[in-house]
Amino acid sequence: MIAKPLLQKLAKKHGSPLFVIDHDELRKNYRQFRKYLPRVQVYFAVKANSDPAIVRTLFKEGSSFDVASMPEFMIVHENIKNLPAKQRQDWIWDKIIYANPTKPVETLEELNQYKPLVTFDNFEEINKIKRHAPNAGLVLRLQVPNTGAMVELSSKFGAAPGEAVDMILAADKAGLVVEGISFHVGSQTTNFQNYVQALSLTAGIFKEAQDRGYTKMNLVDIGGGFPAPYDATVRPFRELAKVINTEVERLFPKNIQILAEPGRFLVASAGYAVSKVIGKAVRGGKKCYYINDGVYHTYSGVIFDHCKYPIKAFKKGPTEICSVFGPTCDALDVVSMAENLPDLERDDFVYSENIGAYSHASATYFNGFPPATVVHVNQ
């Protein structure tokens, strides 16, 4: 955890808005995941925060990677480009999964040279992969319950369980190899039963496929959704890990490889946003502060990720409920309508914790305001 005096010091040195990434926290989160889920290989979901320095730190820790675009693929590839060709190819096969179920033809053609592992969830994708990336290995993305997740994904992705084996057999008939099954229980899932149900469905698909003569699957990708500790309502990760371990051991023999795609869990608590007050007003009897960061920038998760990031002040004093707005001219640029803050003055710094995931990653240049400056500590 970064101490408040250091955040202030960094803001004074580098200016604001500032996005600070604590690499000690990244390493701690990665090691915690491996400790409590020892059978599960970590494939960091690069989309959660694609900063190359984060990828390098997790690469050094031993992480594999889940990518969903060619730019993400190339960020990871930068870490291994100096390896001999054969070793590089083996690494890509074992350490990268292209986990976007629907891919442009151009992407498939570019990926094909790497003999990648890719996900799919529909019959049309089988035809595309067969024609444009025949060297790929396939993983079927299964539709599973997303009950209670902060971000629901099953309405957009996933093959219905009832047609899953038909898709596996269709891919086999096309001369492709389906290596296993993946699923995603929804982002920031605090309902642990989602994993129980998803693993049970997956085991059922494995059995049906074997009963119908397909025996080539050897992996299960349990996706992401592992909740970040945003507040005290989020149960400890070790409790979720215990549930997952029990089901995995019950349902899948040791020869089945287990993958996971944590993103938010690894990077959320490693990120801090520091901004400053650029204006203040009283509207409807309530104090309103305008800061030089907002929902088009580091606080983009307020819109895109359904997430709240409490604004905290470095200054002490009696607090009252205030509104906090971003710097753009858009009325949508509302960071919060209810923050407990002391009386702040122009140029006072404020900050938010646990903002490392899906924040700076989706920042824009809207209205001419650039994203926050990124600073790395404890690299």
- Residues serving a catalytic function are 329
Extract the tokens encoding 325.
Answer: 């707005």
Q: Where are the alpha helices (DSSP H) in the chain?
A: 4-14, 23-36, 52-61, 70-77, 85-95, 105-111, 123-132, 161-173, 193-211, 237-251, 264-267, 301-304
3-state SS, residue 72: helix
* Whether the Cβ atoms of residue 261 and residue 230 lie closer than 8 Å to each other: no
Specify burial of residue 196 (Cβ count, 10 A radius: 0-12, 13-18, 19+): middle
DSSP strand pairing (373-377 vs 40-45):
unpaired
327 prior amide bond cis, ω within 30 = no
Tokens 């096309």: give the residue: 174
Partnered with residue 65 across adjacent β-strands are 44, 96
Name which of 192, 180, 272, 181 is nearest 226 in CA terms: 192
Tokens 């990336």: give the residue: 133
CA distance 300 to 48: 12
Extract the tokens encoding 139.
Answer: 């993983």
Largest Cα separation within the chain, whole Å, is 71
CA–CA distances in Å: residue 278 to residues 17, 287, 327: 11, 14, 8
Where is 374: in which H helix or E strand? Answer: strand 373-377
Extract the tokens encoding 4.
Answer: 């408040």
* Whether the Cβ atoms of residue 161 and residue 121 lie closer than 8 Å to each other: no
Extract the tokens encoding 327.
Answer: 């710097």
Name which of 359, 236, 225 is nearest 300 in CA terms: 359
Name which of 376, 312, 309 is nearest 20 in CA terms: 376
